[in-house]
Structure 1
Amino acid sequence: MSEIRNPILRGFCPDPCMIRTGEDYYIATSTFEWFPCVNLFHSRDLMHWEQIESPLREPGQMDLCGVPDSGGIWAPDLSWDGQYYYLLVTNVLTKKGRWYNTHNYMSRAASITGPWSKPIYLNSIGFDPSLLHDTDGKSYLVNMVNGFKGVLVQQIDRETGALLGERRKVYSGSGIGCTEGPRIYHFGDYYYLIVAEGGTGYAHCVTIARADNVFGPYETMPENPLLTSDRDDPDALQKCGHGSIVETQAGEWYLTHLCSRPDAASGCLLGRESALQRLEWHNGWPRLAGGGRFARTVWPAPAGLPAFAPAARPDRDDFDAPALAPGYAVPRAPLGAALSLTARPGWLRLTGQESLNSRHHVSLVARRQTEHEMTADTCVDFAPACPEQLAGLAYYYDAMNFYLLGKTCTEDGAAVLTLLRSDTGVIEEVCDPVPVPDGALELQLTTTPDGRGAQFRWRAGGGDWADIGPVCTTEILTDEHCRGFTGAHLGLYAHDMAGLHGYADFDWLAVCCRRPEKG
């Protein structure tokens, strides 16, 4: 591929923060209630990206247990001061009602691969904090204020995390509203403040302001915003906003930003993603190359960058490696002993914990859906001892919205396969349970080319596939229906609500997402 094709990070990769160190580019994105905290991606040519290990992947680095759906880790900020990488995150513990509880933390590492320091608490005044490492050696913490009350700047000791001197409000927003995601860059004679405005929906945008002093006053760019979405074009990238800027070693400028690919009839199944736009400078202001303010889906290949060919990730994982590859996630809490790749070599073993609608300890290992048309399948070997045990394939947005195709048993011990739907927390059977034989079962999910429908199937002993239930709507897994910030996931799941430590073994997980020829 000799061009940038947007989105560059596909399927639930929102709030991107991009930096460059030498020839290497890194993007950090939000994970919300998913663990590991923060998704991290690497590239050298801005066209091909690989997911690498999360900076916050160790138990005890961040406590997400009990956080609300679409709470947890919001809008990470990644920076580099010439010696250390810095990562700032917000852990959102409540996000409804009058008050948001938003706790901000900082970690650092000499290498992007770690080890990363234990997160240091900074403040709780608002979400989306970021760091500016200025040319005079000073660093500044940039905060939005809960309630969208403006942007604050305060000097910070980047070694200790101590906040120094006066905290000053430097910007109240451009007037569009919902000012968040602030970052300050010092380019030439000006400090440039980039904020997200308009709310993280269809009116989202990137606003630019500048000042000749870090503490302002900041002047909003004429003809603001820099970037927004063409809501009259259903094929255009939507929800564009929340940007960060980087200069390549060849002197080109790029903006990475949040976007989505919604279906006009049902909403955004894939969550919010990340895209890249080329910038040019005019009269001291950044503009989209070629003019306009709407995101493009294709850009020519960047100039002067080395070739980069990350290892291709196979669609099918046979669980032969000693650890799960980057890209897998679990809700809220690491699984610890509830997950094993060694108890039965070549299989992933999940010991059942709480049910899928719990916000605490859930045995779900998932991958994000990256395209609308998709097939996922697995083989599960599970012998339920009571109806309180279940294991199978989950199609999951959050704890309140999911489909679950799982093997369980009746009160008299007969094995059955059940298809469940949870819609805003109301859990119902999609169809009558189907009697199944003992032993391993293969489970499959296929979505329609437009992503609007999902058909579940099963088979035993390599026989013919049999449908279970009708084609199910995927609308219940969209951002709009769930009023959430994540996206659809495919996962392996087990619960044991009797607390008997029942387990299920999975021979593989295959997720094949079919990328369209255009876009």
Structure 2
Amino acid sequence: MKIQNPIISGFHPDPCICRVEDTYYLATSTFEWYPGVEILSSHDLAHWTIVSRPLIDKKHLNLRGIPDSAGIWAPALSYSDGKFWLVYTIAYQIDGNYKDVKNYLTTSSTINGEWSDPIFLNASGFDPSLFHDDDGKKYIINPRWDYRPLPSKTKFSGLVLQEYDLMDRKLISEPVLIHKGSAVGGTEGPHLMKKDGWYYILAAEGGTGRHHSISVSRSKNLFGPYELSPFSPLITAYHYPDNPLQKSGHGNLVQSPTGDWYLVHLCSRYYGSGQFSPLGRETALQEIVWEYGWPRLRHGSNEPQVTVQVPESSETETNGGGTTNNTYETFEKPTLGAEWITLRTPFEEKISLIENPGKLRIHGGDSLTSVFNQSLVARRWQSVNFLAETSLDFNPETYQQLAGLVCYYNTKCWIFLGVSRDEHSGRRVVSITTNDNGTITEPLRGLYGYLNDSEPVFLQMNVQNAKIRCLYGTDGRSFTPLGEWFDGQKLSDQHVSGWAYTGAVVGLTAIDFDTKNSYADFDYFQYKETQK
């Protein structure tokens, strides 16, 4: 059957895939979003379901205080010796010359079972992966970061290899430089594989923007030297400005049970004249053939394809698109659905589903510009056309207590539709606050929507072609628009200043600048994709 890219929509970058019997498993980066690594599964490469969050109960996963787009980078998932192996980076500081990172390994005998306590590997660079050689030995490969501000020094100083000892559970050899990458530069996200007696390195190159690509090199010796493929780069969209799958790069290969080969890789879809990508970097799939011992895209060039042929599916749907795109959450279950994510710290530190059964209670936290204790739970935008809606019980005592709906990229860029209290009239109000690269504005200029204390509150964000309209109501049927349409395209890495590797989300939040004792009870949350 034919499917459309991306196969997983919404921000799911840096994909890494493996197969166990007839099931594919795929992990992607989550950055500052808790609970960290998500693993999705599929039987046909088209329909994906979240099946594991292996770091959710790990004590080391405290991301409080890390900057935007730090956190969990490039998880590498593999299967060998009857268990799953997950290697990943936690980036704590990423500005300037320095990258303060730690790399870890965790394992599990089943994908949704108990994962082992993480083992620290090294901190010499980021994006490590684990290679299982035919002789049973295992190796960690990662870029080595050179922080020194010296002339002619390149920050990406090459790929280094170290042996991992299963008994001692640590790296036992000094790092060996095995490959410096191609002339494109910025070699990162390496994956080692072996086929027909050759060792292959697939690596992301060219940075994370328009020049992004994947290079392929090979050697008969694990420690090199490695020669660059004559067909390199394996994939890039840089030379194809009209291709819908821009920024294509960073991925690895997998073989199907029938012997076919596929590449998973990240990509971004641009919207509007400004070429912004609010959905972030998504996961796509390409068909691979081998020519003269080198992998190539099946159609013969390195241009990513939107339509891909995959084995016939027994599923009822015929299009890719990843996890279930619509959500209607009534908060009657003891846990939130798998699509929910939160910022930097565990859910239980900010929400409760039992204090008021049937409602989601969010305790007032820090501002939406905080990197410490935000009380925000959200789900990814998976389309630029959707309706988000909620109803909440919230009785703020002061303008310093707020709760409501937010479309959010990071601490520097968001649009907040919230309930608070106006100290002049004494009434509850619905207002809008925006953050555009650190410039905070209140576009209603005091022309709020006014509410009686006894009235329920319904909030909507109507997103059409990435333009956002805020609405409110008191009966759940009729809604009053507030303000103008806002440009949701700005919720993208092209617009946000500084490091920006994620994508737009929509969610629920509560803020308390006063006592830190207030809370809001949300009755439901709906995310429904609409027609263009």
Range into which the TM-score falls when normalised by the shorter chain: over 0.9
**What TM-score, normalized by structure 1, do the two folds share?**
0.95
Partner SS state of residue 490, structure 2: helix
Judging changes above 3 Å, is the alpha-carbon distance between structure 1 residues 54 and 17 closer, same or farther for their aligned structure 2 residues? same
Deviation track 1:33-71 (CA, whole Å, cap 9, x = no partner) reads 000101211001111111223111115141211110011
**Residue of structure 1 in register with 2:484 after alignment:** 470
**Residue of structure 1 in register with 2:458 after alignment:** 442
Deviation track 1:317-360 (CA, whole Å, cap 9, x = no partner) reads 11122211111000101132531112222211101111111101
TM superposition shift of 1:13: 0.3
* CA distance in 2: counterparts of 1:7 and 1:158, whole angstroms: 37
Judging changes above 3 Å, is the alpha-carbon distance between structure 1 residues 463 and 242 closer, same or farther for their aligned structure 2 residues? closer
TM superposition shift of 1:232: 4.1
RMSD of aligned residue pairs (Cα, Å): 1.8
* CA distance in 2: counterparts of 1:515 and 1:93, whole angstroms: 40
* CA distance in 1: counterparts of 2:68 and 2:232, whole angstroms: 33
Q: Which sits farther off after the overlay, 338-347 or 65-74?
A: 338-347
**Residue of structure 2 in register with 1:226 after alignment:** 234
TM superposition shift of 1:313: 6.5
**Residue of structure 1 in register with 2:187 after alignment:** 179
Judging changes above 3 Å, is the alpha-carbon distance between structure 1 residues 490 and 312 closer, same or farther for their aligned structure 2 residues? closer
1:427 equivalent to 2:440? Answer yes
Contact persistence 2:325–2:528 (CA under 8 A): no
TM superposition shift of 1:445: 0.7
Judging changes above 3 Å, is the alpha-carbon distance between structure 1 residues 59 and 212 closer, same or farther for their aligned structure 2 residues? closer
Partner SS state of residue 166, structure 1: coil
TM superposition shift of 1:234: 3.0
Deviation track 1:374-415 (CA, whole Å, cap 9, x = no partner) reads 111111110001221100001100011101000011235321
**Residue of structure 1 in register with 2:278 after alignment:** 269
TM superposition shift of 1:160: 4.4
Contact persistence 1:206–1:226 (CA under 8 A): yes
Partner SS state of residue 274, structure 1: strand
Deviation track 1:116-164 (CA, whole Å, cap 9, x = no partner) reads 1121111111110000011110000001112211100111124543112
Structure 2: tracts of 5 or more residues without a match: 146-154
TM superposition shift of 1:308: 8.3
Contact persistence 2:103–2:128 (CA under 8 A): yes
* CA distance in 2: counterparts of 1:227 and 1:41, whole angstroms: 23
Contact persistence 1:230–1:236 (CA under 8 A): no
Deviation track 1:433-485 (CA, whole Å, cap 9, x = no partner) reads 3322223211111122x32x111100012352111110111132111111400
* CA distance in 2: counterparts of 1:269 and 1:312, whole angstroms: 19
**What TM-score, normalized by structure 2, do the two folds share?**
0.93
* CA distance in 2: counterparts of 1:24 and 1:500, whole angstroms: 46
Contact persistence 2:236–2:249 (CA under 8 A): yes
Q: Which sits farther off after the overlay, 112-121 or 308-317?
A: 308-317
The one-letter code matched in structure 2 to 1:9 is I
Deviation track 1:46-99 (CA, whole Å, cap 9, x = no partner) reads 111112231111151412111100111111111111322111111111111121
Contact persistence 2:215–2:233 (CA under 8 A): yes
1:83 equivalent to 2:97? Answer no
Deviation track 1:269-316 (CA, whole Å, cap 9, x = no partner) reads 10000001010011100111121111111112326x765889957531
The one-letter code matched in structure 2 to 1:492 is L
**Residue of structure 1 in register with 2:256 after alignment:** 248
Judging changes above 3 Å, is the alpha-carbon distance between structure 1 residues 106 and 173 closer, same or farther for their aligned structure 2 residues? same
* CA distance in 2: counterparts of 1:383 and 1:202, whole angstroms: 47
Contact persistence 1:269–1:487 (CA under 8 A): yes
Q: Which sits farther off after the overlay, 25-34 or 103-112?
A: 103-112
Contact persistence 2:271–2:489 (CA under 8 A): no
Q: Which sits farther off after the overlay, 210-219 or 263-272?
A: 263-272
**Residue of structure 2 in register with 1:511 after alignment:** 527
* CA distance in 1: counterparts of 2:265 and 2:240, whole angstroms: 20
**Residue of structure 1 in register with 2:405 after alignment:** 393
Contact persistence 2:8–2:48 (CA under 8 A): yes
The one-letter code matched in structure 1 to 2:268 is S
**Residue of structure 2 in register with 1:40 after alignment:** 39
Judging changes above 3 Å, is the alpha-carbon distance between structure 1 residues 159 and 344 closer, same or farther for their aligned structure 2 residues? farther
1:319 equivalent to 2:360? Answer no
**Residue of structure 1 in register with 2:150 after alignment:** none
Which among 197, 207, 213 is matched to residue 199 of structure 1? 207
Partner SS state of residue 172, structure 2: strand
The one-letter code matched in structure 2 to 1:394 is V
Alignment of 1:323-402 (within 5 A): 323-402=335-414
TM superposition shift of 1:364: 0.6
Judging changes above 3 Å, is the alpha-carbon distance between structure 1 residues 463 and 46 closer, same or farther for their aligned structure 2 residues? closer
**Residue of structure 1 in register with 2:307 after alignment:** 298
TM superposition shift of 1:515: 7.2
Judging changes above 3 Å, is the alpha-carbon distance between structure 1 residues 340 and 325 closer, same or farther for their aligned structure 2 residues? same
Contact persistence 1:59–1:334 (CA under 8 A): no
Partner SS state of residue 495, structure 2: helix
**Residue of structure 1 in register with 2:149 after alignment:** none
Contact persistence 2:267–2:281 (CA under 8 A): yes
* CA distance in 1: counterparts of 2:326 and 2:214, whole angstroms: 35
Judging changes above 3 Å, is the alpha-carbon distance between structure 1 residues 311 and 120 closer, same or farther for their aligned structure 2 residues? closer
Alignment of 1:208-223 (within 5 A): 208-223=216-231
* CA distance in 1: counterparts of 2:101 and 2:338, whole angstroms: 27
Judging changes above 3 Å, is the alpha-carbon distance between structure 1 residues 231 and 37 closer, same or farther for their aligned structure 2 residues? same
The one-letter code matched in structure 2 to 1:132 is F
* CA distance in 2: counterparts of 1:347 and 1:17, whole angstroms: 36
The one-letter code matched in structure 2 to 1:250 is T
